[in-house]
Amino acid sequence: MPHRPGRRLHLAAATATVALTGGLLTVAAPPATAAPRAERPAPAKADFNGDGYADLAVGVPAATVGGKAAAGYVSVVWGGPRGLRASGNVRITQSTANVPGTPEARDRFGAAVAVTDVNGDGHADLAIGAPGEDVDGRVDAGNVTVVYGADGGFGAANSAGRGAKAKDAYGNALAAADFNGDKRADLAIGGTDKVVVNYDPRAARTEPGMGNRMGGRAPVLSTGDFDDDGLTDLAVAYYTKQQPYTQSHVMLYRYDKQERRLLLSWSNSNGATSAFATGDFNGDGLDDLALGNCREIADENIDDPCGPEELTKGGGVHIRYGNPNGSFGSRAQTLNQDTPGVPGAAETGDGFGEAVAAADVNGDGRDDLIVGAPGEAIGSGGGKKAAGTATVLFGGEKGILSADDELGDGVANGYSFHQDTYQVPGAAEAGDRFGAALATGDHDKDGKPDLAVSAPGENASSGGVWAAPGAVPPGTTALTPNSLSLPATSAPLTYGAVLGR
């Protein structure tokens, strides 16, 4: 959709106040008092080197390593007093000391990256997927590597999952959490038509998680305690087309202590999603699940899996809210850029929700929803096609937007920004795809979440990541392959297409 300058952005009561006029965005401080949030397990902090600052891991599976095309690597950018910084960044490849294997063409090391603490030493560790890895002659069986954080950098590493047969593609998706309640990190590994689980990622032992026909696509994964039983659940989404039938599901799996495995606990058929974000959007202490760019795949019109069809135009976000009696998703909400309170206007191809993230941006005790729309056109008449935007929508007493779910007064309960916004480096250009991936973390250790927004199409698909302190434009810096002094390559890096979370 084209950007509309001069639109006033007003946040609902008990949030900050934001105004955007002629590209200038200002944010007033949130109120001093905030509703207390019920205690929930904190996600793993992405501090790999033990300096107290959250770092950022960027998967670059398209990178050439040692002359091997698409061997791939992970770029780690350190946090510090001024946030994410280009200096001192490191690359992890399969030629890095302690990392198993060797770089080979089309390994795609870094195709998925998850942050966890496998050994419980307080340092964040990196789980890295290489779905194109050949294993003992099995082509594209796939492999997952855990690289352990340590004071000053990284230390040991081991394989945490190896595909059992050719084309298994282990590591095309990853999610980390404690599923079985033993206080140790577990790892969910996406592969071709299956998800397996490693309950002790210090070794390469995997067990079946779920299996179905996913059409060879990587599943979408997230974690959260969606049924309020004290155990972390696994959210899985996938879809197939013409194989020879169409099916799509969003499913939740919970660990059954008697069966000693993950079992299906909730399913919503007929819909698919590009991304998940888990957060507590209404501050009730229960995990909610946002489905980004939710859309109906199967043409059966059974259950309107993403809410009203008109709210999926240009990409819609469908939110299922937690329920204290365990009936997850009994309350749902769907919004797009035509929903009152959401900045902008919905147009076909915007991709609103292709990336989503959750963080308490305004400090009111409720998570806010951050939405990427990498297909959004910017400029007069939408001349810069697929330049992309990022939008922050504030949580409230009853979730995203206002207590009535929609303000209905034509003003926004959030704000959006892009590369033509004042104080954001660079310029919006066609094909940048700003907002294609999102990640949050306290990179400057000021107690507030910061936002990383990728634009993998920047500079002829060389790519880049924009680091916004406090998730607002002032102070934003651009991290590009050039500023990071990454090796030149003949193929586009699409830097930022994969961000660790």
Which of 11 and 245 is assigned the larger pLDDT? Answer: 245
| Helical H segments across 434-492, by residue range | 458-461
Q: Over pLDDT 70: what percentage of the chain?
A: 87
Mean pLDDT of the chain: 87
State residue 242's pLDDT score.
65
Least confidently predicted of 73-77, 94-98, 240-244, 444-448 = 240-244
State residue 163's pLDDT score.
96
Which of 75 and 32 is assigned the larger pLDDT? Answer: 75
Q: Name the pTM for this structure.
A: 0.90
User: What is the distance of C-alpha 101 from the center of its chain?
Assistant: 27
State residue 145's pLDDT score.
98
State residue 325's pLDDT score.
78
3-state secondary structure of 153: strand
State residue 384's pLDDT score.
94
State residue 312's pLDDT score.
86
Q: Is residue 266 predicted with pLDDT exceeding 50?
A: yes
- Rounded to the nearest 5 percent, the helix, strand and coil shares of the chain are 5, 35, 60
Which of 243 and 312 is assigned the larger pLDDT? Answer: 312
The sign of the dihedral angle between the CA atoms of 451, 454, 458, 462 is positive
Written as six digits, the tokens of 81 are 């007093």
For 465-469, what is the mean pLDDT? Answer: 98
Q: Is residue 302 predicted with pLDDT exceeding 80?
A: no
For 65-73, what is the mean pLDDT? Answer: 96
| Helical H segments across 318-438, by residue range | none
Q: Is residue 485 predicted with pLDDT exceeding 60?
A: yes
3-state secondary structure of 453: strand
Q: Is residue 57 predicted with pLDDT exceeding 70?
A: yes
Q: Is residue 3 predicted with pLDDT exceeding 60?
A: no
Q: Is residue 394 predicted with pLDDT exceeding 70?
A: yes
State residue 402's pLDDT score.
53
Q: CA-to-CA distance for 2 and 389, rounded, in angstroms?
A: 10
